[in-house]
Structure 1
Amino acid sequence: MKIVVLGGGESGVGAAYLAKKKGLNVFLSDKGAIKNDFKKQLIDAEIEFEEGQHDEARILEADWVIKSPGIPKKADIIFKINQKGIRLSSEIEFAAEFTPAKIIAITGSNGKTTTTSLIYHILKSDNLKVGLAGNIGKSFARQVADQNFDYYVLEVSSFQLDDIQNFRPYISLLLNLSQDHLDQYNYNYEDYALAKFRIAENQENDNFFIYNKDDEMSMSLLEKLAVRAKKIPFSTKEKVKQGGFVHKDKIVVKLEDEFSMKIAELSLVGNHNIANSLAASIASKILNISNESIRNSLMTFQAVEHRLEQVAQINGVTFINDSKATNVNAAYFALESMNQPTVWIVGGVDKGNDYTEIENLVKRKVKAIVCLGIDNQTIIDFFKDKKESIYSTSSMEEAVKVCKSLTEEGDTVLLSPCCASFDLFENYEDRGNQFKAEVLKNKID
């Protein structure tokens, strides 16, 4: 079987490595430059590759093409692969075919990384043999090749789910839906939401689908779609017969038995993290983790980097890095949890954002807006009649300096950009790391 892998990053190189280890004929192609570290891995594994171009003739001879999630669906080479009827899969689809491990897969517009990391923390703390992969950590395919885990906890994006055929998690979680990546889904919210629901499309009645009963779009689509897995809801607004809910000052999970703990004991703060903790607790109960173990894990879990991460307090001003908030709904959760006057850093590559969702929060909680991007006009145009203090910046150094000049003791500076990062940064991690470096540099100064 001829395998072609498109993309020479973490997932692509991992997929090529797994294919090679399984004795398959594999070739990797990246239209851009491959980083030296990944190039070394390919050479060490004796995997043939090219960079800076696509050898279309060779690619179109493949029996199976594995596509990295960063390659747009509308790319010319993808069109040609589909036209020829060649099987096109994501790394998660490819790797899942080579492991008997139980897969817990998490998707949603917001909270994926936090909830994935939390479930992994719970399972790891209970001494299960478990891997963490997908959109987080080391490549799923590489772990399948080299490890012998009984469970995998995978953070899964809509782009990865676009390219599945047989992917069937034991437990799937759909945390929430909000308008994101609409530029990749014909600016159609339902198309994007349906891509997320593909996480459950191959599940059968011996599998589990955990969903958010408070999420309007999820509930609307659940009425139309034939989800065969056992459906288990969670809600922070109402009690459910089976699933997870909030009762007074506690989270409660009712399945065959009951688990509960005080919200005040959770290590994660904010209403959205109560929902994430409920979803993670349901998955853990399905896997027969003890109540004591779940409680201890929920109390000891450390928040994910770049997600409402407190960087420093300087002269009474708190600096918070929420660089992972790449859509409006994520920024909504961040702004909602602010309790002090906030200088808000926002901007980047707009993905068809509708800022009306956060308009009232900005009016109530934000004292100044600092735009950070190559083109800040969309944000300025939306908020100019709603906030007097709006500043345009085009580097992290400039943005942090402006924020410092605007704040006084008791204020918060929040980086929660609503947008993708690749106009000025490599990715959201680079953006968050630059923010932290600038904040701490100013502290030293």
Structure 2
Amino acid sequence: LSSYQIEASPTIAPKIAVWTTFTPDHLSRHYTLENYYSIKAHLLNQAQYQVMNGDDPYLRQTVDRWQNAYWTSVAGKANLPGRGAYLENGWVVFQDEAIVPVSDLRMVGAHNQQNLLMAVLTARLADIDKAAIAEAVRTFPGVAHRLEHICTWNDIDFINDSKATNYDAAQVGLSSVEAPVILIAGGDAKTGDDTGWIETIHAKAAKVLLIGDAATRFTQRLQESGYVESEVVETMDRAVSRAAELGRAVNAKVVLLSPACASFDQYANFEQRGDHFRQLCQELVP
């Protein structure tokens, strides 16, 4: 549930509530980080069981507020703030029981390992059988618009991360794929700290292709940071076409749509934006 949905549904009391991460977002509506936190916390306070991401820096600072919660950590049992699930020797472990090997998960990135831990923990709290959990993980193909692999063309992977609508999510997406990367970014910019995102661009992006209203602003920010391999292409059609042209020249391993922006300047929502990207990428493949 989004913070908007939680506000509109104050009486919802789930059996299990999961808090995956907490970063500054929607502050134009909620004004302060504490207000935003309180809205999210309201839902968890009404749940019978709380599942928290112990690797999230902000949530980890709030351990004292969640004495009865279950926690997760990809860094192992020693890093757990309390009881919960963790990774050990390549396995997801809950209550000292190995449930499923991490290698069975098809999705890339440490954040998806965090998601795996929270999903397995939630399933066990719901009394779902261990074998059923393992089978579900093995056969799960991934989620649309969240580091979704679209196709491989000329040995370059085209990946749709349209759901990355802020700097933190886009940094995670970019960190999760193999470099060199041609990054497609831009759209309807949000308020936030872009420092980590820009540092990751320096480390992994051979080229940044900019679309939408944020293109000029992003160009300026990248130039201020000393990054000069950005190009304003304005639209998704031009971005995919240009990425295909540049791919071999920059030895790209991945073309990644991870916009760091909302979509409302050019699309109805992030799903429509990702669907358009998918369509254009699939047209590259004979």
With the length of structure 2 as denominator, give the TM-score of the two structures.
Answer: 0.91
SS at match of 1:443: coil
Taking the aligned partners of 1:200 and 1:338, their CA distance within structure 2 comes to: 32
1:275 aligns with 2:114: yes
2:218 to 350, 363, 379: 379
Deviation digits for residues 17-43 of structure 1, max 9, x if unmatched?
xxxxxxxxxxxxxxxxxxxxxxxxxxx
Taking the aligned partners of 2:163 and 2:71, their CA distance within structure 1 comes to: 26
Gaps of 5+ in 2: none
Match for 2:241: what amino acid?
K
Match for 1:398: what amino acid?
R
1:196 aligns with 2:40: yes
Match for 1:335: what amino acid?
L
Deviation digits for residues 175-225 of structure 1, max 9, x if unmatched?
111122222222x2232222221212323xxx10001122222133443x4
Taking the aligned partners of 1:267 and 1:316, their CA distance within structure 2 comes to: 19
Instruction: Note the 1:240-255 alignment, pairs <5 A.
Output: 240=80, 242-254=83-95
Taking the aligned partners of 2:213 and 2:221, their CA distance within structure 1 comes to: 17
Q: 1:400 aligns to what?
A: 240
Deviation digits for residues 130-153 of structure 1, max 9, x if unmatched?
xxxxxxxxxxxxxxxxxxxxxxxx
Taking the aligned partners of 1:234 and 1:326, their CA distance within structure 2 comes to: 25
Q: 2:276 aligns to what?
A: 434
Cα–Cα, structure 1 residues 407 and 268, in superposed 2: closer, same or farther, change >3 Å? closer
Instruction: Note the 1:103-252 alignment, pairs <5 A.
Output: 156-186=1-31, 188-203=32-47, 207-223=48-64, 225=65, 230-239=68-77, 240=80, 242-252=83-93
Cα–Cα, structure 1 residues 375 and 279, in superposed 2: closer, same or farther, change >3 Å? closer
Give aligned pairs, total: 280
Deviation digits for residues 159-180 of structure 1, max 9, x if unmatched?
1112233211110000111122
Q: 1:113 aligns to what?
A: none
Stretches of 4+ moved more than 3 A in 1? none
Higher relative contact order (CA 8 A, sep 6+): 2
Taking the aligned partners of 1:164 and 1:357, their CA distance within structure 2 comes to: 34
Q: Which moved more, 1:421-430 or 1:242-251?
A: 242-251
Taking the aligned partners of 1:382 and 1:194, their CA distance within structure 2 comes to: 32
Taking the aligned partners of 1:375 and 1:236, their CA distance within structure 2 comes to: 34
Q: 2:141 aligns to what?
A: 302
1:388 aligns with 2:232: no
Taking the aligned partners of 1:189 and 1:329, their CA distance within structure 2 comes to: 15
Q: 1:358 aligns to what?
A: 197
Taking the aligned partners of 2:59 and 2:219, their CA distance within structure 1 comes to: 32
Match for 1:251: what amino acid?
V
SS at match of 2:18: strand
Q: 2:256 aligns to what?
A: 414
Taking the aligned partners of 1:238 and 1:418, their CA distance within structure 2 comes to: 30
Q: Shift of residue 410 of structure 1? A: 4.7
Q: Which structure has the larger Rg?
A: 1
SS at match of 2:61: helix
Taking the aligned partners of 1:382 and 1:285, their CA distance within structure 2 comes to: 45
Q: Shift of residue 348 of structure 1? A: 0.9
Q: Which moved more, 1:336-345 or 1:415-424?
A: 336-345
SS at match of 2:12: coil
Taking the aligned partners of 2:49 and 2:202, their CA distance within structure 1 comes to: 41
SS at match of 1:346: strand
Taking the aligned partners of 1:357 and 1:407, their CA distance within structure 2 comes to: 25
Taking the aligned partners of 1:434 and 1:166, their CA distance within structure 2 comes to: 37
Instruction: Note the 1:56-71 alignment, pairs <5 A.
Output: none
Q: CA contact under 8 A between 2:181 and 2:252: conserved in structure 1?
A: no
SS at match of 2:69: strand
Taking the aligned partners of 1:410 and 1:349, their CA distance within structure 2 comes to: 26
Q: Shift of residue 258 of structure 1? A: 2.3
Q: Shift of residue 350 of structure 1? A: 1.2
Match for 2:55: what amino acid?
D
Q: 1:72 aligns to what?
A: none
Name the Cα RMSD after superposition: 1.9
Aligned sequence identity (%): 28
Q: 1:345 aligns to what?
A: 184
1:324 to 163, 166, 170: 163
Taking the aligned partners of 2:220 and 2:35, their CA distance within structure 1 comes to: 28
Q: CA contact under 8 A between 1:259 and 1:291: conserved in structure 2?
A: no
With the length of structure 1 as denominator, give the TM-score of the two structures.
Answer: 0.60
Gaps of 5+ in 1: 1-155
SS at match of 1:311: strand
